[in-house]
Amino acid sequence: MELPIAFKVKELSQILDISMPAVSNRLKNFNGALVKSEKNRTVGIPRETTAKILEENGLGYFYRKNVFLAHTIVGGSSKTSFTWSIFNGFVRMSSKKNPTIIISTDSQGSIDDIALSKILSPDEQKVLADYFGGNATLSDILIPLNRDENLWIIPSNLNNVFLDKCVGTPQKMKTEALRLLTEIYKHFPGTNPSIFIDTMPALSASTGSFILAMGQLMREFGKDEFNPVVCIPLRSDSTSLKGCEIAFEEMQTVLDTFGVKECPRVKIFLANYDKRLSLSSEILKGLFSHPVLKDYVADSVIRTSSEVPKASYQHKSIYHDRLFPVSEDYTELLLEVLGYEKQGANA
């Protein structure tokens, strides 16, 4: 996997809430690698340097054990685009000392096609259904996207059409995703993995199993160690809004049914937002007036952009080659799911 472009001084200035000149002065005396222009100007800040600066300025909580699960029951809601975009956005600001992992559960393997430039066949690659079914180990299903940068994927293929059968009993539903996440933590001891889960667009037992696991792990880890977030993207139509209601209610039902009182944070956001279309505004109004969902609406929206499908077609992200307005949207949303609060920094 090709790495996304390095962080920019402007981006770091916005996160640290200090001026660009103050950031530039800080970088002059900073012991870390920088990308320089021919005129010796800083034009990029590599991921290791960015992570070190953020940690030194009180933003080390970005690097907890993050689990971001994209959940929707309506297709075409930009669930995969969201997962791939914030994965790459996070890579730009995180150290390779902590693994960054995609888990793909959708049998269509959309994110696999982007990340690996192909969908691996059932004959050549074990997937989550094999693991949940007891026919594969974690080492069988976890493969590198970029081993040197500690980037990984648990890919998907058509065998995952059987995934829900593998967690078809209440016991399996409660234990299998928990077993997977726990084994990942054991596989990378002494680190804080960040895990990005791209689920199938349906009410599925496997998605419910992951949500249960996130709630169960909240009992084991405190909020300073563990950051589980269920992210629900919406299209700009009434069907997607209704689907969001169902997805949210089902999440609550699953947790209640299994007696898990701890609930992951929820962020609901509008993807493909187009301010020229009245329907986009109507959906936002519907969210902010909803008696339950209004408390979970993200501050960020994702503007519609042709750059997202274009980048996916090229097996890249909106953080490769150069940044676009939609890149800024995804960065803001990423910061929000990381729990970012602007507080100023040490100049």
Q: What CATH number has the domain spanning 59-337?
A: 3.40.50.300
The pLDDT, as a whole number, for residue 25 is: 84
Residue 256 CA to residue 21 CA, distance in Å, equals 51
Nearest to 134 by CA among 158, 167, 156: 167
Phi/psi at 311 (nearest 5 deg)?
-65, -40
Domain boundaries, the chain: 59-337
Could you tell me whether strands 143-146 and 100-104 are parallel, antiparallel, or unpaired per DSSP bridges? Answer: unpaired
The pLDDT, as a whole number, for residue 173 is: 95
Please write down the long-range contacts of 32-36, taking CB distance under 8 Å and 24 or more positions apart: 35/6
The pLDDT, as a whole number, for residue 78 is: 86
The pLDDT, as a whole number, for residue 10 is: 93
Q: 215: which 2 tokens?
A: 């709630």
Q: 59: which 2 tokens?
A: 């933003």
Burial of residue 162 (CB within 10 Å: 0-12, 13-18, 19+) is: middle
| Digit-coded pLDDT (tens) for 129-182 | 999 999 999 999 999 999 999 999 999 999 999 999 999 899 999 999 999 999
CB half-sphere exposure, 246, CA atoms < 13 A: 14
The pLDDT, as a whole number, for residue 343 is: 60
The pLDDT, as a whole number, for residue 347 is: 41
Residue 179 CA to residue 329 CA, distance in Å, equals 34
**Spans of the chain, pLDDT less than 50:** 345-347
